[in-house]
Structure 1
Amino acid sequence: MSGLEPAQIGTLYRAACLAELDALKPGNVHAYAAGHRMVVADFRTSADVSAPALARAGVGIGTRIRDGVAATLAAVGQNTNLGILLLCAPLAAAAERGVTVATVLDHLDPADSTAVFAAIRLANPGGLGHADRHDVTADAPASLRDAMAEAADRDRIARAYGTGFTDITAIGLPALMDARAQGLDPTWCTTAIHLAYLRSVPDSHVARKMGADIAEDLRREVAAALQDLDLADRPVERLLALDASLKARGLNPGTSADFTVATLFWEALTEAGAALA
């Protein structure tokens, strides 16, 4: 199967990033409310400057991630998209090469591992902590997938590298399809994706910074809050109340937001002709 053109991949990536920002996503930065000392403009700029690296023709997944992080830090001075790039780079590479995501993950090489470790050190994400094996402050291992497997029990993005990104196909895409079937407009479809991740699995970013118990409590809280919520009613006030509550407690479900972008990007690539699964 022939792949997509890099320019198209970059355009679809940027569109996915911007669409995620337009949606009301409790706990995250979005067009309705800033938070966590960050504003929407930072993320829009990050999408703009990281798109060329993410979609660069012929380069490895690790290079796409490292150069995207470097461009972001140069433009906005903080990490806004490491998780997004870790999820979206394999999708971009698969779409360009005309292969599945599983195939590109099976062909990761030591250069990818070195570049990804460099990207993580550059971004210095909050709550990273220390690992007994494959710590990012040490030399990168030959196998990136081995390093990701080591972190899989504490980081949902790392776990995705071992599962072939099944969270997207099992959680994100079904939520998007269901929202579309209900006739929701694109912005509320994006909110539906984010809420599906929030209520389905504990958010890794919250777990790293606040602990696994608090991440699970958040998942249960959101699931309970959504029981009688109908997004067709555009419940802005209720979701903004939840948003304010989470931000007041310092709870930022950033991994859920990262997977929301990746879900939108996956769907856009598929609609453009990529066969990712």
Structure 2
Amino acid sequence: MSLARAFISACEDELNAPKPGNVHIFASGHGMEAQDFVDSAHAAAVPLTTPGIDVGSRIFAAIEATWARVGQNTNLGIVLLCAPIAHAALAYPRTDLGAGVRKTLAGLTRADAELAFKAISRANPGGLGEAPEHDVAEPARVSLLEAMRAASGRDRIAWQYVNGFEDVFGLGADALEKSRRNDEEPALRVLRLYLTFLSAFPDSHILRKFGEATAALTMSEAQAFSASVAAMTRPEDIYAEALRFDGSLKSRGLNPGTSADLTVATLFADYARGVLANAYKNG
């Protein structure tokens, strides 16, 4: 499997699970269909995983390719998270992926920030990038890491940059491994991974659009849902409950997009480790 294929597989796996409030193959939502995200994954995969370019170039090229393909913002958060992972896999192939990501983050430059700001402006997500300092509408004055540091208190994707992608390589990887040990089918593994993030902290996408109280309420509802299905043994019963919760969130316009982005990033990191292991094994 190539790194580009690993990215596409992570995106497709995420779409194959009935993630409450988010778009998936079982239900559209928020004016988008699952096919929009499949098309976006295929468009972004090659620019995101091209050897020999910097992180900012990966972000900008992936968003430009996505926009040319689907004409809307479907994957900005995914690209912002997956670009450092892809870069680490390519630049430090014999280093542990988590350590490689930390090296990548430490090496981010103002040029990376310039290109990331252009990508964010192109995607034009509501509320993202509007800040008292390091606004994406203005020229970058600091490295991408420093810009993310300024936003990390209000945005969980920015928080990953400052904290070495701790949610991806810690909370997310642990949840994925636990589900794998329990021999759960792929869609259920992805659903549990998504719920792990949604239950752990207020979703940044909901926070930006609806405020702290609604984001906190959604997190509490996710915790209650996870507890209610914990004793269920049949995946189809869990999926039926998930779709009911899905309908409730979508009826209120609530889309936990950051939790979905972190889900893709965790899956991509997991696939990337397999790609690196096979490459190393094969010399």
Q: TM-score, normalised by structure 2?
A: 0.92
In 1, Cα distance between equivalents of 2:161 and 2:28: 30
1:119 matched to 2:88? The reply is: no
Per-residue CA deviation, residues 131-174 of structure 1 (Å, 9 max, x unaligned), is 11111111112311111011001100011110000011222111
Q: What is the CA deviation profile of residues 50-89 of structure 1, one whole-angstrom value per residue up to 9, with x for unaligned ones?
A: 0011011100111111111111111111000000000000
Match in the other structure for 1:251: 254
Q: Aligned ranges for residues 115-194 of structure 1 at < 5 Å?
A: 115-128=115-128, 130-194=130-194
**How many Å separate the matches in 2 of 1:162 and 1:136?**
18
Pair 1:89 & 2:83 matched: yes
Q: Aligned-pair distance for 1:129?
A: 6.6
Cα contact 1:62–1:116 (8 A) shared by 2: yes
The 1-side partners of 2:7 and 2:129 are apart by: 30
Alpha-carbon shift at residue 130 of structure 1 (Å): 2.9
3-state SS, counterpart of residue 228 of structure 2: coil
Q: Which runs of 4+ in 1 moved over 3 A?
A: none
Residue in 2 that maps onto 1:203: 203
Q: Cα distance, 1:272 vs. partner? A: 2.4
Residue 68, structure 1, aligned to residue 62, structure 2: yes
Is 57-66 or 138-147 further displaced after alignment?
Answer: 138-147
Q: Are the counterparts in 2 of residues 184 and 232 from structure 1 also a CA contact under 8 Å?
A: no
Q: Which amino acid aligns with 2:185?
A: D
Between the aligned residues of both structures, percent identity stands at: 44
Q: Is contact 2:22-2:29 (8 Å) kept?
A: yes
Deviation at 1:11, TM superposition (A): 1.0
Letter in 1 for 2:221: E
Q: Deviations over 1:27-72 (max 9, x none)?
A: 0000110000000110000000100110111001111111111111
What is the CA RMSD across the aligned residues, in angstroms? Answer: 1.3
Asked if residue 241 in structure 1 is aligned to residue 248 in structure 2, the reply is no
More moved, 7-16 vs 59-68: 7-16
1:262 to 262, 265, 269: 265
Number of aligned positions between the proteins: 268
Pick which of 240-249 and 178-187 moved more: 178-187
231-240 or 43-52, larger mean C-alpha shift: 231-240
Alignment counterpart, residue 16 of structure 2, candidates 3, 22, 28: 22
Q: Can you list the C-alpha shifts for 1:225-258, whole angstroms capped at 9, x where unaligned?
A: 2213136421122110100000000100000000
Gaps of 5+ in 1: 1-6
Q: Mind listing any 5+ residue stretches in structure 2 that lack a counterpart?
A: 278-283
